[in-house]
Amino acid sequence: MSDEKSLYTRLGGYDAIAAVTDNLLPRLISDERLGRFWAHRGEDGMQREKQLLVDFLCQSAGGPMYYTGRDMTTSHKGMRISEEDWQAFLGHLTATLDAFAVPTAEREQVMAFVDSTKADIVEIAAAKSATAN
């Protein structure tokens, strides 16, 4: 058995990941470009989405949580998330990681994981969206 700690443990566990989510979601919701994805959502739906995100991140980082939500492709299908939306999201994620002073090694692992989900989330490539305007 390896003595290497999981990313979940190195990030600070459930409470730390929940705190990061508490910091990130308001950034995304208040963003002019990204806020449309949360428009007209009820408080209960927002809380459920937040908990699913925490569970997803905890499980993905090697924690004991069990994610019961849909896969990323199903969850984001039809949302018309563009490359520009993705880049805006990454900017907010970087700002959140900065706010929590996440160490370089853990930051790189988080960003690599997030990048691995891009193909399942982004529907509109930059070239396609540029020609559609």
Which pTM does this prediction carry? 0.87
| Residue 3 domain flag | no
| Residue 2 domain flag | no
Q: How many domains does the chain have?
A: 1
CATH of the domain at 46: 1.10.490.10
**Is 51 in contact with 14 (CB distance < 8 Å)?**
no
| Residue 44 domain flag | yes
Domain that holds residue 84: 8-132
Alpha-carbon distance values, 57 to 40, 70, 130 (Å): 25, 13, 32
The per-residue pLDDT for range 66-115, each reduced to its tens digit, is 999 999 999 999 999 999 999 999 999 999 999 999 999 999 999 999 99
